Every structure is written in structure tokens, then in C-alpha cells.
Amino acid sequence: MKSNSEIKKEAIEVLQLEAKALEALTHKITDDFAEVVNIIVNLKGRVVVSGIGKSAIIAQKIVATLNSTGTPSIFMHAADAIHGDLGIIQQDDLVIVISKSGNTPEIKVLIPFLKQANNRMVGIVGNLNSFLAQQADYVLDTTVEREACPNNLAPTTSTTAQLAMGDALAVCLQTLRQFTDRDFAKYHPGGALGKQLYLKVGDLSNNNGKPTVLASDSIRHTIITITKYRLGATAVIENDQIIGIITDGDIRRMLENYEDTSKLTAKDIMSSNPKQIEEGELAITAFHTMKDNNISQLIVTANAEYSGIIHIQDLLKEGII
């Protein structure tokens, strides 16, 4: 058994080793990298990414990142490619082959077929003297000094370098395409990330009803209104204008400050100048406003007119915070 301090020390050494490898990678960004980026951004076809073993897993992640940032991509397993999946590759596609050694049997069998098809080929490779490096049209060097594995065998540092190189490609392409957060949302409509980028305040507040009391309404009526809508608050209206908000907290403070509440009206206990947000704003913006002001509700407006209330629980239910 190792002590906690020994385990932590070993973990730190792994991270430091991988960080050092990534730092070294910054010196391996050559003109080949820039040319590959320019080729892909003008590509009529797709980016086909292939690999074997752990490199295949990295290839799948790179494909996912490219697709989500606007570069049509597809994964092709190197072993499956030589058993029928070569049909995936179309005439205008660019092929990226990922391999640490660049000399695995599957890669050696695959590359001649890729060359016959005349598709441009990029090698993300950790051995510049390898078969892959020699045959590729463009080489992205991911050579590492050693693996984080104590035996220098298990792909660790090398796969981190491959993944980082893929990220660098994706981000450069994203920038060239002027790919915005709105574009990003189109490819992530179902998850929490997508909701942060497209879900509007009105999408949530319109389901909540529109709790309203007049400035002159009684406290009893105010409490009934707050209870009815289950939002912990109601807007206070006077002359068709929003003049305040009453929350559960305002009710508690009233009970602390007044023994007799029978003569009080909504205007007497409301909080003036309530925070407001337009229904067309992003829901995540509503969350940041609530967080910055340490509140749980916001008055929602539509063209400056009262539209409803959004509660922080609405955002929690959607899973965007």
C-alpha cells in the first residue's frame, strides 16, 4: 500500500510530465499545420480521421470536436478500413491518420490504398522516421519524450499530445469559419450546453403565469396571489407600470416589523425598482443576473411591459445551471 502523500506525488508527476509534453508541442507547429488548416477550411468534402488502438479513440474525439465546431468529419477505424470501410472515403475528402509509431501493420496496409485513391493525407504521428510520416502529404508531429506510464508503454502522454493537436486544429478552423456561440448551439440543441446558448427567458416565464397585484391591494390578497402562482413573488403594478416586487422574503420582513398588518397594502411592503429582464434574453443571462444580485426571481418584460416572472428553479429544472 502506498500512502496518500505518495499517491498524490505520483499523480502530480504524471500531470507535470504531460504538461511538459504539451509545452514541447508548441515548438512542433510547422507550416504543415497551417497548410492543413487552410486546406480543411476550403474543403469540399469531409475530414476522415482514422487510427488503431488508443489512437482510434483519440480519432473519435477529434471527429466529435470537429463536427461540433462546424467541420464535417467522420471516423474510420483503420482495421475496419482494410476490411470494407474504405468506401467511406469520397473523392473530395481529406484523410487524417493518427498513430504514435506510424508503423503498425494496419496502418502500413491502409496507407497504400489511401495513396491510390489520391486523397490528400495528414499524419498525426509520434515518429518522424515512420512509414506514416514518410507517406503522408502533411505531417503533424506529436513526438513525446516518454509516456507517463512507469514502464513507458501505455499510451498516456502520446495520446494527450494527439488530442491536443486535434484541439488546435479544431479551434483554428473554428476561428477561420467565424463560428459563433449561436452556430455552436445548432449542433448542441439537446444538452445543457445548447440550452445555455438558445433557451430564452420567455420560453420559461411564459409557462409560469403572470402573478400581479395592484399597489393598493391588501396583504391578504398579495399572499394569496404569491401562493397561487408558486413563484415566491408577485409584481406590483400601478397605472399599468411595474413599480415593485413582493417576494416571500418581503412577507417575512413585514411580519418581523409589523404587529398589525391589517392596514398595510402591497405598496407598503414591496421592494422598489425590481430587477427586470426582457423575455428575448437568454435564460443563462437571467441566471447571471440573479447570481450577481443574490436574488431568486426576475420580473420579465416584453417591450418594456410586464410579461411574467422567471424563478431560479426554472433554470435548475432545465439543467442549464
Do residues 105 and 116 make contact, with C-beta atoms less than 8 angstroms apart?
no
DSSP-derived 3-state class of residue 212? strand
Residue 47's DSSP bridge partners are 73, 94
CA 225, 226, 230, 231 dihedral sign is: positive
Q: How many CB atoms lie within 10 A of CB 237?
A: 17
List, in order, residues 6 or more apart from 226 with CB less than 8 Å away: 211, 232, 233, 234, 246, 247, 248, 251
β-pairing, 138-141 vs 212-214, is unpaired
Q: Report whether 83 belongs to an annotated binding site.
A: no
Number of Cα atoms under 13 Å in the Cβ half of residue 63: 22
Instruction: Report strand pairing: 297-302 vs 73-77.
Output: unpaired
Cβ contact 92:37 at 8 Å: no
Residue in this structure with the C-alpha cell 486535434, named with its chain if needed = 166
Record the cell numbers describing residue 251, joined without a space: 412577507
CB-based contacts of 214, cutoff 8 Å, min separation 6: 236, 237, 238, 266
Cβ-count burial of 262 within 10 angstroms (0-12 exposed, 13-18 middle, 19+ buried)? exposed
Contact 47, 71 (CB under 8 A): yes
Quick one: cell of 315? Answer: 433554470
Q: Is 94 left (phi over 0), alpha (psi -120 to 50) or beta?
A: beta
Positive or negative, the CA dihedral 36, 38, 41, 45 is: negative
Annotated binding site for Zn(2+): 77
Positions at the binding site: 77
